[in-house]
Amino acid sequence: MTTTRPQKPTLVSAAVTAFLLGTSLAATAAGDEAGESSGHPDTSKGEMSYMGTPQSEPDAKMVTSPGAPAMTEAEFGKAKQIYFERCAGCHGVLRKGATGKPLTTDITQERGTEYLKTFINFGSPAGMPNWGTSGELSDAEIETMAKFLQHPPPEPPEFSLEDMKATWNVLVPPQERPTEQANDLDLGNLFSVTLRDAGQIALIDGHSKELVTTIDTGYAVHISRMSASGRYLFVIGRDAKITLIDLWMETPRTVAEIDTGLEARSVETSKYPGWEDKYAIAGTYWPPQFVVMDGDTLEPLKIVSTRGMTVDTQEYHPEPRVAAIVASHEHPEFIVNVKETGKIWLVDYTDLDNLEVAMLDAARFLHDGGWDQTKRYFLTAANQSNKIAVVDSKDREMEALVDAKKIPHPGRGANFVHPEYGPVWATSALGNADITLIGTDPKDHPDNAWQAVDVLEGQGGGSLFVKTHPESNHLYVDTPLHPTEEVSQSVAVFDINNLDEGYEVLPIAKWAGIDEGPQRVVHPEFNKAGDEVWFSVWNGQEQASAIVVVDDETLELKKVIKGDWLVTPTGKFNVYNTQHDVY
């Protein structure tokens, strides 16, 4: 297959660049050819979009706010970009907190610059990355961020249907696409791998472990999701750009794209029988809203704001972000997590002109989640509320709220049959070493259903993902955000049939053979057969990274994938497992 090598990436979309540079979307989009003069010496417009406006004047204007240390405009602009890229996902665009603590000025100004510098530098076992000691931020950048957080947050613009349509691009119309698969790839064992800081995904063949191609996407791809048919790959970046990739083409390529806002995490397609892939949906962190699109072209059809009242205090919240979205298998609807209000929306897509939404009260700070093994019950973390919410998608009601200590963070979770308690779903946590197992079988194990039947102790806090497979006897738990290197660079493995024996540690980063960088080990993902599991060794953008493949039966190293195209790999999504919700 054709292999393409990454070019210098454009990290953020036009909308995000406009916000970061303080310009309008129209001004950013107009005439931004990579080599066109920007008006700054030795800096093209393309480079400005990539790096931000150069500031070297000794008399640069100052940014001042009551109670906050003064900053130059250049420092403020740089900090705004770092905050968008590294911090907003957990702390919120308006810094009101969710997975991460609130960073409002009443808090940050009281803490002061030195305290904030220390916290940013060293992180915490509760999941705050050690941005300084890992080498990802310099001392100067840390000081700039500590000052920036004491100023009020700049509020980005809204994003309308007109704004979306201005970015919508159908590169290959549906009628010009293949009518059958035009390549010899085993699509079921293809992996879509996030190349976070390159603004790309890599497609890797699961059999040969060879690169098929790299494809430009949005900045910091969050997830890849499959169409119900298994043909189309939907990729969404943290800059809210969606890339629709046709895997049937001779070399898989982008056939449509759109910007849905300035920051996002979630995309999904309709899966109910008779409605397969008719619609796609994307939820954004900013603006707080979701958009329903045509499933073949990404044409935006319906935008719905999620601003509203919180589930507990019933106060108005200006930034209730859209987190996980899943497509119901029981009804023609999407299940949408509205993070800050703590409500789960059931969005009926049968009539977009007269949209019906049922709102279920759960708990605040809804985040990630996934299906139980029957795909009837959706289990999702309300992370700062330390709860797992359970939705019965068939009866369209809340089934339970289950306690899970200290910021549960399941990813999509992990399903397996516990030798004593029957079917369970597992979540790890950011704030402690707990792996909580929740019973999911109300029919045959009613006494265990929707309760934490067991709690395993892993290596420590800072876990992002747990993973298993129906063909595996192992449960894998990563800890990439733990501040101790030997923990963040390894994974814990439990034998599902002998959970009381504790875990075995696999030195994944050591096996990768990389000598520098933070080498965070993140996101276990199985191949289609369930006999091997892939891990990302996530390093800095200028450092070597790797993917380590482990034999699931022997727990021994099977393969190390490297290459100069492998820039900051994080999430890996096996096509078959993603299409069929196997986890």
Q: Exposed/middle/buried for 447, CB within 10 Å: 0-12, 13-18, 19+?
A: exposed
338 conformational bin, left if phi > 0, alpha if psi -120 to 50, beta if neither:
beta
Q: Are 337 and 344 in contact (CB under 8 A)?
A: yes
| Dihedral angle, C-alpha 573, 576, 577, 579, nearest 10 ° | 90
Question: Which of the residues 317, 367, 469, 482 is marked catalytic?
Answer: 367
Q: Are 257 and 270 in contact (CB under 8 A)?
A: no
Question: Which of the residues 317, 409, 418, 523 is marked catalytic?
Answer: 409
Two tokens, residue 283: 């939820």
To the query of whether residue 87 is one of the catalytic residues in this protein, the response is yes
Cα 301–392–458 angle (5° rounding)?
105
Nearest to 176 by CA among 282, 102, 259, 253: 253
DSSP string, 329-348: SSSSEEEEEETTTTEEEEEE
Question: Which of the residues 71, 90, 145, 293 is marked catalytic?
Answer: 90
Residue 551: other Cβ atoms inside 10 A: 13
- Residue 256: which H helix or E strand, with range? strand 253-259
The radius of gyration computed from the CA coordinates of the chain, to the nearest angstrom, equals 23
To the query of whether residue 222 is one of the catalytic residues in this protein, the response is no
Residues 6+ positions from 145 with CB-CB distance below 8 Å = 79, 82, 83, 87, 116, 120, 137
Two tokens, residue 51: 């790096």
Question: Which of the residues 128, 145, 226, 293 is marked catalytic?
Answer: 128
Residue 58: other Cβ atoms inside 10 A: 5
Two tokens, residue 179: 């009518």
Alpha-carbon gap, residue 196 to 213, rounded angstroms: 16
| Dihedral angle, C-alpha 136, 139, 144, 146, nearest 10 ° | 90
To the query of whether residue 91 is one of the catalytic residues in this protein, the response is yes
Answer whether the bond into residue 287 is a cis peptide, omega within 30°: yes
Angstrom CA distances, 151 to 95, 132, 141, 310, stand at 11, 21, 16, 26
3 state DSSP class of 427: strand
The backbone torsions φ and ψ at residue 100, rounded to the nearest 5 degrees and listed phi first, read -95, 165
Question: Which of the residues 87, 145, 226, 293 is marked catalytic?
Answer: 87
Alpha-carbon gap, residue 378 to 359, rounded angstroms: 15
To the query of whether residue 359 is one of the catalytic residues in this protein, the response is no
Nearest to 258 by CA among 11, 13, 12: 13
The three-state (H, E, C) secondary structure of 176-226, written as one string = HCCCCCCCCCCHHHEEEEEEHHHCEEEEEECCCCCEEEEEECCCCEEEEEE
**For 133, what's the count of Cα atoms within 13 Å in the CB-facing half-sphere?**
17
Alpha-carbon gap, residue 550 to 557, rounded angstroms: 5
Catalytic machinery residues: 87, 90-91, 128, 367, 409
